[in-house]
Structure formats: C-alpha cells, structure tokens
Amino acid sequence: MKKNNKGFVLVETLVVTVFVMAIFSVIYLNFYPLAGEYERREFYDDVDSKYGAYWMKRFIQSSNYNFQPLLDDINGSQGYAFFTCDLFPEDSEDRQFCNEMWERLEVETVVVTKYKIDSFKQKVEDNPVGFSDDFVAYVEYLPEFIVASLNEAKYRVLVEFQRTAGSNEDVDVYYTYSNMEVRK
C-alpha cells in the first residue's frame, strides 16, 4: 500500500493559523467586557463608602429623625424613599451634623428601601428615572437579600457618593456605592 507522505501544504497551515487566531479573538472579545465589569466593581462597597453608609444609617436610626414620610413612600406605591436631612427638627444639632457629614462624605443620593430589595430591583429596572446609570448598575449587581436579617433590620439604605481626586488641572470625578441594613 502506498503511503501518503506529503504532509501539510502552506495553504493548509495558513487556514489552521487563521482558524486558531479567530478562536483567540472570540475568546478575547468575550473576556474583555468581564475585565471591565470587574474594574467597575472596585467602586462597590469600598471601605470609605461602607463607613459613609454607616453614618447615613446612624442618622436614619436617630430617634430625632422623622421617619414617617419615608415610611409612607416605602410602603406606598413608590416602594422606596429618598433620605434627606431636612426631616430632622429645624435648627437641631442633628440636622447640622447630618448636613455637614453629607457634604464632607461627598454623598450624592441616599435611598431607603425595605430590607429585601427584590421589588426595588424590579422597580428600578422597569423605571430607572431619577437614578443614574451607574446607580442602576449597582442595584442590578446587588443580591435580593431574601434571607431575613440576623439583626432584625427591616430596611436598607443605598448610598451613592460622588468622589473627586486629582489636582485642580486634572480633576478625576467618579462614583462609589454602598449599602447597609437599617434597624428602625
């Protein structure tokens, strides 16, 4: 029997090379967005934002804070409420602390929801008006917190911070996010 000892010709080698390069290109194009997503998540629940959210939670939990208007929104059709320092008594020390901390912590938005955020996630997905794209992405990233809180918390606070870094000529503005349970 006559053996085929011809081996590969150049065209065959080229076809295989192009095929392998095409596979690598597909893998790279699928991997690259994942790397971007990972980089974006470094701004979720970072240490500064976590302590910032902690202070917002402390203000909400304060006995001097009038939580009822927020509660009406949370339990009403809206399903969530925007926290504001104005619900502390006028000219009170609490309101001054709250306003000053809001400014120093570079807080942009504070949203109070129920502890489990499954319905809030759905609302934000259906109607993201009033929220930035980055905030919506953070809400999508969060779990639903289906398991009840060990601390018997009923509410959750989600905070958006507008950070600035760099010098005057090259200001770097970016947003960070954090959340924390609230006992009220």
Partner 1 sequence: MIRKLNNKGMTAIEVLVTFVIVVVIVVSMYDGIMDLKNRETIASYKLSLVTYKNLLTKDIQDDLAKIGLATVRTESLTGGTGYRVIMVLRDGSQRYLEVTQIFGCAALDDLEAMDLCDDYGIPRDRSDEFSISYGPPDDLVEYPLPDLGHEVIDYNGEHTIYSLRITGVDVSTSNQVFSIKVTMSHPDLGSRYSLNIVSPINYP
Q: Which residues bind partner 1 (CB under 8 A)?
A: 5-6, 10, 13-14, 17, 42, 46-48, 51-52, 54-55, 58, 93, 96-97, 100-101, 104-105, 163, 165-166, 172, 174
Output 57 or 121, the one with its CB closest to partner 1.
Answer: 57
Closer residue to partner 1 (CB): 116 or 163: 163
Do residues 90 and 124 make contact, with C-beta atoms less than 8 angstroms apart?
no
Report the C-alpha gap between 106 and 154 in whole angstroms. 26
Distance of closest approach, residue 164 Cβ to partner 1, in angstroms? 10
Is 16 or 148 the residue whose CB approaches partner 1 more closely?
16
Distance in angstroms (rounded) separating the CA atoms of residues 54 and 73: 22
| Spatial CA neighbour of 41 closest among 121, 144, 162, 140 | 140
Closest to 52 measured CA to CA, from 89, 98, 84, 94: 98
Residue nearer to partner 1 on the CB measure, 92 or 149: 92
Q: C-alpha angle 181/162/95, rounded to 5°?
A: 60
- Least distance in Å: CB of 116 to partner 1? 26
Give me the amino acid identity at 72: D
Nearest approach in angstroms of CB 147 to partner 1 is 25
Q: How many residues does the chain have?
A: 184
Instruction: Report in angstroms how near the CB of residue 47 gets to partner 1 at its nearest.
Output: 5
